Amino acid sequence: MSDTAHSVPQAAAKDGPGFVRAIGLFDGTMIVVGSMIGSGIFIVAADISRQTGSPAGLIFTWILTGLLTISAALSYGELAALFPHAGGQYIYLREAYSPLWGFLYGWTLFLVIQTGTIAAVAVGFARYLGVLVPSISPTAWIVHPIALGSKYAISLSVQQLVGVLMIILLTFINTLGVRLGKLIQNIFTSAKTLSLVGLIFLGIFIGRNAGAMIENFGHFWAIRNAQPIEPGTSFLRSFLPTITAASGAFGLFVAFGVAQVGSLFSADAWNNIGFTAAEVKNPKRDVALSMAFGTIIVIALYCLANLAYLFTLPLVQIQTAPDDRVASAALNAIFGPAGAMIMAVAIIISTFGCNNGLILAGARVSYAMAKDGLFFKSTGKLNSKGVPGSALVYQGIWITVLILLRTRRVDAAGAVTYGNLYSNLLEYVVFAALLFYVMTTIGIFVLRGKRPDADRPYRAFGYPFVPALYILAAAAIMLVLLLYQTQTAGAGLVIVLIGLPVYFLWSWWSRRSARTDTTQ
């Protein structure tokens, strides 16, 4: 593949065998909101509060996440308007740098970022459905774990089966056309947005706890019970200290950087509407606006939700919430045991809508890669409904594999416990995802130089200052992760770099196939 910019091959945007332009501004905003809101907002506050150690730390972590995410979305709008094609960020990276960079992003997205997130959300859906139907259990085995070496296994529990069935159902629905997919998205996103608004209203106005408010807001900046954060390797421990958020300015800097892992993951997927640009009615305007509106809505809800937690629960209860289920603990404080059931229903709705949006959007990247000869050829074709049906099926198969694969650990007493492989993989790729976001934002500057006269219906808000500030802030967080989360950040880089030989092999095979087709 050439490393020069080239036109983007796209199916015709029409009713019939090509893409169907059926996504309006409201639909696009619902895809952004629905893909962003999963189960993270109901859980990660516990970990963030332990890392930052104060109510102020919890709130300002989300404010920082909001500033980063909104500034990135406002910057990406320029690229979305410049390249209104299926594939989104894959196209932006390819056009700014080379097909190699586009492939490395698409590779990582398919291998872990998108599919791992979908797997996690599917199992989260099954876990909370298990609150209502106790037989949906992680230890109700259909196929007992089968060891695959000393560290891995494969299994099928009732909980895993429900997660897999969810993937099959949503994949099938999305093969029937974008109109049905967006209808499902609009319904479930509206429902879960109202659920989150309800949680905020209950926490701030109905369940407000005078004792919790005095404790939290009377000692808003006071750091307590902050967990120690160690450098990521023994080598780094020789010259970097183990710190907490109470260790001065550097300690706060590291704590906020590490805390961004949970909050940024919960606020991710705001860029997914770009993947579907070929199906947006007015892509040069509505993709950018959908990113901006959707991101602002979600970040506002997230900040208010954490404020509701602080109105309802003392910080120590947020830090020690059972299984980190802070939202469940808040509703339990308001309604008693019925609160857990109410929260379970809300999360079931939220996770179903989240996965519909992620499944709908993710397959468009595989489609764009295949059009460039960098993925399975069949994934570059649209079915009779005007959607990449084969790409949806390949995506669903890999998600199922991620759900079935388990990590295996044997303790000193010989007891075996099983984890979820996708959970480990998602920890690894937070650093990689930030890397691609930074590279894409730098691409705005690169493309201003390479294509100064290109039609830009939308220009990055606050250029060059807002994109530059995002790059600097994200780079600072990446540095913290390299120093204090070295193993996971390093593993994320390894996943990306494994894509290098795959790229050259696929490029060679694509050229060989093209020559064969020419000589026949």
* Inside any domain, residue 157: yes
Residue 234, Cβ density class (10 Å: 0-12 exposed, 13-18 middle, ≥19 buried): exposed
Confidence at residue 426, expressed as pLDDT on a 0 to 100 scale: 74
In a domain, 2, yes or no: no
Q: Is residue 13 part of a domain?
A: no
For 343-373, the pLDDT digits (tens) are 889 999 999 999 999 999 999 999 999 999 9
Residue 94 has pLDDT above 80, yes or no: yes
- The pLDDT confidence band at residue 306, using thresholds 50, 70 and 90, is very high
Instruction: Kindly compute the dihedral angle of the four CA atoms of residues 457, 462, 465, 471, in this order, to the nearest 10 degrees.
Output: -70
User: Does residue 416 register a pLDDT over 90?
Assistant: no
Residue 49, pLDDT > 90, answer: yes
Is 38 a member of any domain? yes
Residue at 17 is within a domain: no
The pLDDT-based confidence of 185 (bands split at 50, 70, 90) is very high
Residue 517 pLDDT: 63
Strands 416-420 and 141-147: what pairing? unpaired
Instruction: Return phi, psi of residue 433, to 5°.
Output: -60, -40
289-326 in b/e form (b: 16+ CB < 10 A) is: bbbbbbbbbbbebbbbbbbbbbbbbbbebbbbbeebbb
Range of the domain at 226: 25-515
The number of domains in the chain is 1
Distance of CA 199 to the CA centre of its chain: 22
Q: pLDDT over 70 for what percent of the chain?
A: 96
Domain membership of residue 520 (yes or no) is: no
pLDDT confidence bin for 12, thresholds 50/70/90: very low
On whether residue 1 sits in a domain, the answer given is no
> How many residues are present in the chain?
520
Dist CA 482 CA 464 (whole Å): 27
Q: Is the pLDDT of residue 110 over 80?
A: yes
Q: Is 145 a member of any domain?
A: yes
pLDDT at 518: 64
What amino acid occupies position 126? Answer: A
Please tell me what DSSP assigns to residue 252.
H
Classify the C-alpha dihedral 109-112-115-121 as positive or negative.
negative
pLDDT value for 437: 94
Q: Strand pairing of 416-420 and 152-157?
A: unpaired
**pTM of the full predicted structure?**
0.91
pLDDT tens, position by position, 232-263: 888 888 888 998 998 889 999 999 999 998 89
* Tokens describing residue 53: 């150690």
The string of pLDDT tens digits covering residues 115-163 is 999 998 999 899 889 989 999 999 899 999 999 988 899 999 999 999 9
CATH number, domain of 425, equals 1.20.1740.10
